[in-house]
Amino acid sequence: MRLNGKNAVITGCGRGIGLEIAKRFLQEGAIVVGCDVNEKHIENATKLLSKYGKIKIFKCDVSRYEDVQNFIKKAIDFFGEDRINILVNNAGIARHTKFEDLTPEIWNNTIAVNLTGQFNTCKAVIPTMIKQRNGVILNMSSVNGIFAEGEMIHYDVSKAGILLLTKGIAWEFAKYNIRSVSICPGIISTELVKESGMTDEAEKEFTKKIPLGRFGTVEEVANTYVFLASDEASYITGTEIIVDGGQMCHQ
């Protein structure tokens, strides 16, 4: 019960990694308020997660600041107190697109959800963390924020921006005992990977780049979040944690 009694906000928790993070946080004793943009995902996740603890999931488009403000107000109402101990910025989108096919719409949408979405939630939550003089912000980045991947320039840029957003927040708000860390997974077996356009053949080829010889699991990423959110990680801030099966050690 490493998160016992803590209030946690998790974006994009309707499925995949976000769903597993919410599950693990509940198992560790946290009260969770989540959001997702897809109503069907919200319905399915609520049914699955309710048996693990106290949770409420709202619909929210993180790229819209007004949506995020309303979501955080609802979260505080659900918690029954103006206290948010943990913010997990997990919501994101990905799609393989060659640069010559990359339209301003695809570019802007990717940046809006992946990067601006995290700015929006940080902006809405940090005032509460300042008042309580503590907090943990965990931002989902990617190994793609560290090195470039073909046909993913828009995604790579959005994830690279998260690294500096995280460092800037860690530097500016350390005086309030607010920690900020980026998590950089490699290839994790999720629905989003399938939807990004990666073929089975490309999946097999990519596995050859990973020393552990396989894709990661959502459980392995979620366990990293539990540790970083807990008091056991109290001296970790302003950095990125790579969860990639060794992929980056020879990139």
Q: Has residue 202 been placed in a domain?
A: yes
Residue 207 lies in a domain: yes
What b-and-e string marks burial along 118-138, b requiring 16 or more CB atoms within 10 Å of the CB?
A: bbbbbebbbebbeebeebbbb
CATH code of the domain in which 170 resides: 3.40.50.720
pTM above 0.75, yes or no: yes
Whether 107 maps to a domain, the answer reads yes
Domain count within the chain: 1
pLDDT digits (tens, 9 = 90+) for 63-122: 999 999 999 999 999 999 999 999 999 999 998 899 999 999 999 999 999 999 999 999
Q: Does the pLDDT at position 201 exceed 90?
A: no
Quote the domain boundaries for residue 11: 7-246
Q: What is the DSSP letter of 188?
A: B
Strand ranges in the chain using DSSP code E only, listed in sequence order = 7-11, 31-36, 55-59, 86-89, 135-140, 178-185, 239-243
The closest of 91, 109, 76, 82 to 42, measured between CA atoms, is 91
- 217 assigned to some structural domain: yes
20-70, pLDDT tens digit by residue?
999 999 999 999 999 999 999 999 999 999 999 999 999 999 999 999 999
Residue 7 · residue 206 · CB < 8 Å: no
Is 29 a member of any domain? yes
* Sheet of 239-243, strand order: 55-59, 31-36, 7-11, 86-89, 135-140, 178-185, 239-243
198 pLDDT tier (thresholds 50, 70, 90): low
- Residue 147 belongs to a domain: yes
Tokens of 60: 């929210």
Active site members: 155
Placement of tokens 């992929």 in the chain: 247
Per the domain annotation, does 251 fall within a domain?
no
